[in-house]
Amino acid sequence: MRVGLDAQLAVGTATGIGEFVRGLAEALRARSDLEVVSLAAPWLDPWRFDRRVAWDQALLPASALRARCELLHCASGTAPLVGAPYVVTVHDVAWLRVQQHARWYARAYFGRFALARYARARALMVDSRFSRDELLETAHLEPAAVSVVEPGVAAAFAALERAPDERPFVLAVGTVERRKNLEVAIRALRAHPGLRLVSVGPATPYADECRRIAAACGVSGAVEFRGYVTPDELLDLYARCAFAAVPSRYEGFGYGVAQARCAGVPIVAADSSSLPDVAGGAATLVAPDDEAGWSDAFGAVLAARGAAEHRAAEDRPRAIARFDWSTAAAAVVAVYRGALGRPPPG
């Protein structure tokens, strides 16, 4: 098989989808039963709406045609109107559920327009059972056409050695946008003088709101917005943090939870969307808008840091086995074969 993989969101300041694409591409290249071609335009900013549409609808199908791909894997949740046969990874349907504050044309393109493209796909993959349920609720699709394929986590997280700072900080990884709900973690700091919060991820206008909340709570000096960091910097933060916080109201998968588990980091996470499933019993779960509950959870981890570290270390081998990229790649290849009508090998 010769498969084109849409890798445009791995360009520049890659977020969770970029991490997904990079890991999947590496795992697919390690296999001998297909040829994978990463399709991307490094000169094109994927975070401008007009350029994203130009990539999806013109440059991506043209690139797949030039590369003589039998199948196109649209790995970023969007697909072209014309071009090669394709499969899609649908990471979530947030644009239809929780992005009402976004511009109407973005909601239309990433929402209903995308759903119409899914109906024409040879097959669909989602990152979690939650995302499968959400997709089937919002689109008229055959359930058999939608496969759950959990992403892997980079091996560097499994090899990381923990060395928490004496002065504790909580790490929050992800784009600073409203659905990620960083504000509840900021408010939780009020009860814990000396605890810092380090936020890692690209900013949206919501970041300014979070700064105003921190100022109103008197914790501005305890909140650091790092923006996008390199993979090495991210690993260093996971090694040194006291625990990770994932307060999102809506996540199709929740890389912050999976990465923290593979790194052996204690976790406080929201009991919403896909997060309880991805946490697998390894996180302290709190309702996303329960401010007192988040404050209490932070306090409980800080009061028993040794015990929290021990539980996270015990869970780590299970997480590493679950979020293994070679396992994910095998499942993806099975979907490719089905989409092209090819029987399993052997």
Beta-carbon count within 10 A of 43 CB:
6
> 345: exposed, middle or buried (C-beta count within 10 Å: 0-12, 13-18, 19+)?
exposed
Residue listed under structure tokens 């992403």: 151
pLDDT value at residue 45: 86
> Do 222 and 274 belong together in one domain?
yes
Q: Are residues 177 and 243 in the same domain?
A: yes
pLDDT of amino acid 180: 96
What pLDDT tens digit does each residue of the chain (346 aa) get? 999 999 999 887 767 898 899 999 999 999 999 999 999 999 998 888 999 999 999 999 999 999 999 999 999 999 999 989 999 999 999 988 888 778 899 999 999 999 999 999 999 999 999 999 999 999 989 999 999 999 999 999 999 999 999 999 999 999 999 999 999 999 999 999 999 999 999 999 999 999 999 999 999 999 999 998 999 999 999 999 999 999 999 999 999 999 999 999 999 999 999 999 999 999 999 999 999 999 999 999 999 999 999 999 999 999 999 999 999 999 999 999 999 998 877 6
Instruction: Kindly state whether residue 345 falls inside one of the protein's structural domains.
Output: no
Sign of the torsion angle spanned by Cα atoms 238, 243, 248, 254 = positive
pLDDT at 237: 98
Residue carrying structure tokens 């045609």:
65
Neighbour-count burial of 158, counting CB atoms closer than 10 A to its CB (0-12 exposed, 13-18 middle, 19+ buried)? middle
Tell whether 56 is covered by a domain.
Answer: yes
What pLDDT score was predicted for residue 12? 75
Contact call for residues 177 and 99 (beta carbons, < 8 A): no
The whole domain housing 120 covers 2-152+324-339
Scanning 94-227, the segments in alpha helix (DSSP H) are: 94-97, 104-108, 114-118, 129-138, 155-159, 182-188, 206-217
Quick one: 161 and 306 in the same domain? yes
pTM of the predicted protein model: 0.94
Domain tally for the chain?
Answer: 2
Identify whether residues 117 and 222 lie together within a single domain.
Answer: no
217 lies in some domain: yes
Instruction: Specify the DSSP class assigned to residue 111.
Output: I
**Where residue 117 sits, what CATH number does that domain have?**
3.40.50.2000
Residue 256 lies in a domain: yes
Could you give the C-alpha distances from 63 to 22, 36, 295, in angstroms and in order? 18, 13, 50
The burial of 25, by beta-carbon neighbours within 10 Å (0-12 exposed, 13-18 middle, 19 or more buried), is given as buried
